């Protein structure tokens, strides 16, 4: 069952600190961006731009602080290829630095037919496994990770992400397309029964923009609010 503490709002102070960090790092950008769902979004979050040791280490601190505060129980970490690999490794290092040493593993996109072989690398999947990723769009990658984890006999415990976009998921083209009444995170918690921990949400981002003393940053509050009103859940 989903740990109820995982679905609570992120700590406002931590979330605000993270949003400012993401903006300074150039990871959170504003303008006009086309999403996978075909929507024109006024902001874009690209965790691939946490691209040096200092930024990745700082990011891992945010993950660890939010995760440990959530109270979600877990025995190990799993990083889905590709972005999740670096995130899970960095988080494992930061947790060990804080006195919580846990194993981690990740998968390959394609099975290796030599050496150790297989699709899994790292510690054997066992116990309660927490998936580490940047954002979640449709939940497809989470379902794939869940199937992989539980196929080994381990238990998929939950998911920790950097940003919850809090917007309506879209139906697959085969289902006729269109917006769904729930977000991807809501689907994961309600239908898959996984705990979801997010460092920050779209609501946190909007609060930071709306209260910013920086005119350049505050100017994006209107477009982001309009986007949330149209696509938010």
- Catalytic positions: 112, 114
Q: What is the DSSP string of 48-85?
A: GG--SHHHHHHHHHHHHHHHHHHT---SEEEE-TTHHH
For 224-227, which contacts have Cβ atoms below 8 Å and span 24 or more sequence positions?
224/30, 224/42, 224/43, 226/42, 227/39, 227/41, 227/42, 227/43, 227/167
Between CA 61 and CA 69, with CA 65 as vertex, the angle to 5 degrees is 170
Find out whether 171 and 180 touch, Cβ atoms under 8 Å.
yes
Nearest to 154 by CA among 125, 195, 131: 125
Q: Which two tokens stand for residue 97?
A: 């630095």
Structure tokens at 98: 């804080």
Q: Is the peptide bond before 34 cis (omega within 30 degrees of 0)?
A: no
Distances (CA, A) of 230 to 43, 92, 110, 203: 14, 38, 38, 14
């Amino acid at each position: 069952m989903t740990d109820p503490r995982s679905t609570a709002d992120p700590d406002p102070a931590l979330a605000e600190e993270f949003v400012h960090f993401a903006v300074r790092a150039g990871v959170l950008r504003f303008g006009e961006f086309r999403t996978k769902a075909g929507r024109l979004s006024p902001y874009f979050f690209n965790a691939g731009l946490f691209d040096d040791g200092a930024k990745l280490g700082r990011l891992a601190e945010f993950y660890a602080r939010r995760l440990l505060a959530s109270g979600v129980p877990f025995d190990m970490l799993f990083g889905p290829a590709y972005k999740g690999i670096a995130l899970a490794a960095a988080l494992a290092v930061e947790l060990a630095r804080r006195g919580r040493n846990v194993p981690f593993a990740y998968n390959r996109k394609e099975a290796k037919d030599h050496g150790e072989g297989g699709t899994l690398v790292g510690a054997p999947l066992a116990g309660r496994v927490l998936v580490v990723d940047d954002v979640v769009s449709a939940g497809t990658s989470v379902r794939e990770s869940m199937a992989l984890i539980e196929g080994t006999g381990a238990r998929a415990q939950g998911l920790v992400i950097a940003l919850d976009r809090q917007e309506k998921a879209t139906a697959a083209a085969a289902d006729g397309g269109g917006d769904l009444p729930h977000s991807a995170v809501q689907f994961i918690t309600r239908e898959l029964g996984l705990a979801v921990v997010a460092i920050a949400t779209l609501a946190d981002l909007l609060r930071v923009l709306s209260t910013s003393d920086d005119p350049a940053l505050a100017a994006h509050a209107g477009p982001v609010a309009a986007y949330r009103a149209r696509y938010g859940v």
